Amino acid sequence: MNNERKYQVCTNCVMDTSDSAITFDENGMCDHCQNFYSNIKPNWNTGSLGKSKLDMMVNQIKSDGKGKPYDCIIGISGGIDSSYLLYYAKEVLGLRPYVFSVDTGWNLEVANNNIKKVVNGLGLEVNEELIDWEEMKDLQLAFFKAQVAYQDIPQDHVIFSALYNTAVKYKIKHVLTGGNLSTECIREPIEWVYQNDIKMIRDIHKKYGTSKLKKLPMTSMFKYKIYYRYFKGMKVHRPLDLIPYTKKDALDTLTSKFQYEPYANKHFESIFTRYYEGYWLVKKFGFDKRRAHFSSLILTNQLSREDALNVLANPPYSEAQALEDMKFITNKMNITESEFKELMDGQNKTYNDYKNSSKFIALGVKIAQLLGKEKRQYR
């Protein structure tokens, strides 16, 4: 990639040349925006077409779940999307979800409280999977030592694997996710946020880990994309793409019905995520995930470009909070602050420095795009 590139920010959203592969048209509009207007928007139906797809989906889920204790599974993180999805599935769609949550050891009190408020308010019970902390820590430390941008992969991988493994274990065929175009129609470039690639995870752990990973839930892409779906009949649904869904309305509903408490930023439900997104990614790599998130909100008319630029002019969170979080993280992970600072100042790496399945994943995305299941830019 060209590091000498002149700085440029899209005239329509707030994506900029920190996405090194971004291109602009003669009006200064970026290719994410062009893709949104030509591929995503025309195929995104939250009106009567969305409603009829939703009805079909719900009928199928209810009919498959007849006589069983649950008809679907929903993983809840305490964030807005998954909390709203749970409310909508139970109260509006009349589904009977198995509610699943994963504690990787980092959840903030506010996230745990939100989970409790929503689940209790709906008269449901949450099934929490507690992750083996020693193994989680070993994998996360290996990732820091690997000097890659994507420090969210160990937790994400474990959370998704636990969810899918649980669905298969209890023979629950339908997985509902809070993933949605409304707040995520611009996908972060893979140089910022790489995929859940088990080959890379294993290679990084082999190089920098200290113990064997025996208890962590892990699932290869092959297993959950192919084996679980085609041999176990698992179906993954994104109901929020079929209804009019906005962050503000979802938050209003959650606040008024469950006294839900919002967080400062989209994924700030964990101290680790807060530090990684707000500091590691920004200071070490120059990537600010808020750009992709705000751009999604701009394209879906939930935020003005001017307001987004004003917020982006300030760092995601304060130096003082970052320092406090760094102390918390180093203490929890048993490394010294100076060791950690060395990692922060060390040579940046990418997935290409490790064994990886990027070609296989890119092929999978290409197929998903041909089938119309993925319309966002992938690179």
Q: Cβ of residue 291: shortest distance to Zn ion, in angstroms?
A: 10
210-239 positions binding Zn ion, by CB under 5 A: none
Classified as helix, coil or strand, 243 is: coil
Stretch that binds Zn ion, among 1-9, 32-40, 85-93, 275-283 (CB under 5 A): 32-40
Beta carbon of residue 191, minimum distance to Zn ion (angstroms, whole number) = 17
CB closer to Zn ion out of 205 and 305: 305
Question: Whole-angstrom Cα distance, residue 187 to residue 23?
Answer: 15
The reply to whether 200 sits near Zn ion by the rule CB under 5 A is no
308 scored as a contact of Zn ion (CB under 5 A): no
* Contact flag: residue 35 with Zn ion (CB under 5 A): no
Q: Which stretch binds Zn ion (CB under 5 A): 30-38, 90-98, 113-121, 125-133?
A: 30-38
Residue (32 or 247) nearer to Zn ion, CB: 32
Minimum separation from the CB atom of position 295 to Zn ion (A): 6
Query: Which of 17, 19, 22, 30 is close enough to bind Zn ion by CB under 5 A?
Result: 30
Which range in 14-22, 44-52, 143-151, 238-246 contacts Zn ion by CB under 5 A?
Answer: 14-22
Q: Answer yes or no: are the C-beta atoms of 198 and 218 closer than 8 Å.
A: yes
Nearest CB to Zn ion, comparing residues 31 and 261: 31
- HSE-CB for 195 with a 13 A CA cutoff: 19
CB nearer Zn ion, residue 219 or residue 296: 296
Place of tokens 């005239």: 11
**Choice between 37 and 222, CB closer to Zn ion:** 37
Instruction: Check binding of 361 to Zn ion (CB under 5 A).
Output: no
Measured distance CA(8)–CA(104) in Å, rounded:
38
Minimum separation from the CB atom of position 28 to Zn ion (A)? 9
CA distance 198 to 354: 11
Q: Tell me which of 9, 22, 33, 303 binds Zn ion, using CB under 5 A.
A: 33
Given the complex with Zn ion, which of 299 and 361 has the nearer CB atom?
A: 299
Does position 13 interact with Zn ion (CB under 5 A)? The reply is yes
CA–CA separation, 373 and 238 (whole Å): 11
Q: Which CB, 122 or 308, lies closer to Zn ion?
A: 308
CB closer to Zn ion out of 125 and 306 = 306
CA distance linking residue 353 with residue 146, whole number of Å: 9
107-146: contacts with Zn ion (CB under 5 A): none
Query: What phi-psi label fits residue 283: left (phi over 0), alpha (psi between -120 and 50 degrees) or beta?
Result: alpha
- For residue 92, the minimal CB distance to Zn ion (Å) is 33
Segment near Zn ion (CB under 5 A), from 3-11, 117-125, 163-171, 261-269? 3-11
Q: Which of 9, 12, 234, 281 binds Zn ion (CB under 5 A)?
A: 12
Say how many residues touch Zn ion, by CB under 5 A: 7
**Coil, strand or helix: which one is 30?**
strand
First to last CA, the chain: 12
- The encoded tokens of residue 344 equal 């922060």
329 near Zn ion, rule: CB under 5 A: no
Residue closer to Zn ion (CB basis): 12 or 300 = 12
- Does 54 sit near Zn ion (CB under 5 A)? no
Q: Report d(CA 362, CA 232) in Å as an integer.
A: 24
Dihedral angle sign, alpha carbons of residues 268, 75, 195, 180: negative
CA distances from 203 to 48, 65, 146, 353 (A): 47, 40, 10, 10
Residue 173, SS3 per DSSP: coil
Q: CB under 5 A: which stretch of 31-39, 125-133, 152-160, 246-254 binds Zn ion?
A: 31-39
CA distances from 36 to 29, 364, 377 (A): 11, 21, 9
CA distances (Å), origin 87, targets 238, 245, 322, 341, 353: 14, 13, 33, 42, 42
Which residues sit at the interface with Zn ion, rule CB under 5 A? Answer: 10, 12-13, 15, 30, 32-33
